[in-house]
Amino acid sequence: MSVPPTALLSWAHKPNQPGTDAAWSNEVLQLAVNLRQFGVDADLDLFHLSEPGIEWTGWGPSRITKCDYTVVLVNQAWRQRFEGTNEPNEGAGAVAEADTLLGLFERNQDDFRRRLLVVVLPGADLHDVPPRLSGQQRFVLKDLTRNDLEPLLRLLHGSPEHVMQPVGPAPFLPPVRFGPIDGAAGTPGIHTYVPGVPDEGQEVVQQQLASNPAGAVVRSFLEELTTKQGVALHGVRRRDAAPGSLDDYTGYLRLTRAARTIGYLYASTGRLNPKVSGPTLETLSSLAPDARQVGSSNEAYRAVITVNDPRSREQAIALLRRAAGLGAAT
């Protein structure tokens, strides 16, 4: 079980106001009782009125020195004692406590700011806070319920409401690259974050697209694949790569769907090698008129199409859908 925090409640009577002073004293006492109920070892001179031999001008200063916190319950009388404007024959105990607090400020300002808390009870108002204490932690209480006391309790118990999370890694924030006028789109080619490309490959692929005169078309092609066709983009794992190393994106992108490779794309040129079978090759000219066959040791990658305009883009999508075993796009 943790040791409860200790706190002295420093306050002052309202002189020459018998009715209001009784109500004020009850309010002060109720706060002390409630704080103790909620796990704070709160001390108050009213708890010790019947103890013999107490020297009141020394009791408060001693408790300030020993307690973790001093909770000042401001009112007009306490402000006068703190500022030295009270009648010289009134409130010696509160004056001694105020002097001790000022001495703490002189010795260690950080300790003073940490340990001195200002509370404005329902029977007081903000005008009762001495200007010299305006920068201290302040709690304005409209009532003495647990909900109203919660901010004060959180500070005393060291239980913040909002906990700062660990700092995460910086997000990938690629530069915006301006290329030449793109003839197909008719607008300046702006190459920024490439949809579907993992963060470790973003910079390389962006540079490849920026060097490609039809980079904007290739980028829209990749966006279509990854957002609508269920295609994932990967780099290439080199055979001599060390365990745990990242994929290589300097050559081409590997395209997969449902964890199955369906083709390879060179972002710098727009060249696509879809993985299509013999029957597709036989009807290649009707499915993708802009595609052609090339010599390859792997028959599955003999089809080639260059994505450089809207027409070739749609043909490339049709080829990849065929490679993935899908029908025509709807």
Strands, E assignment, the chain: 6-10, 41-43, 69-73, 116-120, 138-140, 177-182, 187-191, 232-234, 253-257, 260-266, 271-274, 292-293, 303-306
Per-residue model confidence (pLDDT) at position 192 = 76
Residue with tokens 């001390």: 43
Per-residue model confidence (pLDDT) at position 46 = 95
Helix (H, G, I), strand (E, B) or coil at 187: strand
Rg (CA), the chain: 38
Contacts of 315 (CB under 8 A, 6+ apart): 287, 288, 289, 290, 291, 305
The structural domains of the chain, ordered by start, are 6-157 (3.40.50.11530), 177-323 (no CATH)
CA distance to 203, 268, 280, 289, per residue, from 286 (Å): 37, 27, 10, 6
Per-residue model confidence (pLDDT) at position 330 = 46
In a structure prediction context, what are the per-residue pLDDT tens digits for the chain, which is 330 residues long?
689 999 999 999 887 666 678 899 999 999 999 999 999 999 999 999 999 988 888 999 999 999 999 999 999 999 999 998 888 777 788 899 999 999 999 999 999 999 999 999 999 999 999 999 999 999 999 999 999 999 999 999 999 999 999 998 887 666 655 555 444 444 444 557 888 999 899 999 999 999 999 999 999 999 999 998 899 999 988 778 788 788 899 999 999 999 899 999 999 999 999 998 777 677 788 889 999 888 776 777 888 999 999 999 999 999 998 888 775 554
- Strand partners of residue 260: 257
CA distance to 29, 55, 56, 314, per residue, from 52 (Å): 20, 9, 11, 97
One-letter amino acid of 311: R
Contact, 155 vs 117, CB < 8 A?
yes
Per-residue model confidence (pLDDT) at position 122 = 95
Per-residue model confidence (pLDDT) at position 86 = 85
Please give the model's pTM, rounded to 2 decimal places. 0.55
Per-residue model confidence (pLDDT) at position 186 = 46
Is the Cα torsion angle 30, 33, 35, 37 positive or negative in sign? negative
Helix (H, G, I), strand (E, B) or coil at 260: strand
Please report, for the chain, how many H helices and E strands are present, in that order.
Answer: 11, 13
Contacts of 207 (CB under 8 A, 6+ apart): 177
